[in-house]
Amino acid sequence: MVACRRLALESLIMATIIQSSPDMVEIIDRYRQLYSGLVYDVLDEMGLPHQALSTDLRPLRPDMVVAGPAFTIQGINDPVGDEGLRERRIKLFGEMRHPCVDVRDCGFDTRVAHYGEMNAVLGRAKGVVGAIIDGGTRDSRHILAMDFPVFARYFSPVEAVRRWSYYRWQLPVALRGALTATVTVNPGDFMFADIDGVLVIPQEHILEVLRKSEEHAAVESRARGEFAAVGADVEAVYARYKKL
């Protein structure tokens, strides 16, 4: 009887925890109210300074924002156009679930476009909310017309067929880093990107980083308002908030 009651209590506690945790759509919406500089400062304070990706990863349009859990893809050189690899690639789209971010490790290749309009169309249909491509993209006018957020290192019209191909997915990948040679991205890590850069938030820290970032944002908002007031004592404002 005691064991049954304990089991029932544990089940109730677990159900309460699950119900009290925000779902991923809500988490994404809340992150989208923030900005990468603020979120990076929180990561830095938490002892996670190496979560920024290379500074040459840029959005197709300055106002684009990407936020969501990573669906990781790794590619390899494919100089012969391996039919087996080409046939396998369609399967990865079937494993995508809303909401996710298409994150591509292109193996440091700089010759071709690793992403394009058809990827965006199919990805969006399968629940992708944006793409982070550590390589090249093309069909940019069409992607812009879709209003689909893509970050990439460069533009190229060069087709990937017989040059590069998908190899495996939903395994850890390595993308170029801002402070380190590479940053590891695991499936489910949270990607957050805006005009200032791309961040990788480890899955186990998603909610903690969000909570602390929102707290920092609230303090910054109060400090911003007081700094902007006519005749403000800026030294006093700084002493209150330690924000500048």
DSSP 19-40: HHSPPHHHHHHHHTTS-HHHHH
Do residues 92 and 173 touch, judged by C-beta distance below 8 A?
Answer: no
Six-digit token pair at 123?
Answer: 């990805």
> Taking the CA atoms of the chain, what radius of gyration do you get in angstroms?
21
The pLDDT score that the predictor gives to residue 237 is 60
pLDDT band at 242 (very low <50, low <70, confident <90, very high): low
Q: What tens digit of pLDDT does each residue of 218-234 get? A: 887 786 776 677 666 66
As a whole number, the mean pLDDT across the chain is: 87
Q: What is the reported pLDDT for 100?
A: 98
Q: What is the pLDDT of residue 224?
A: 74
User: What pLDDT shows up at residue 9?
Assistant: 45
The answer to whether 68 and 100 have CB atoms below 8 angstroms apart is yes
The string of pLDDT tens digits covering residues 25-60 is 999 999 999 999 999 999 999 999 999 999 999 999
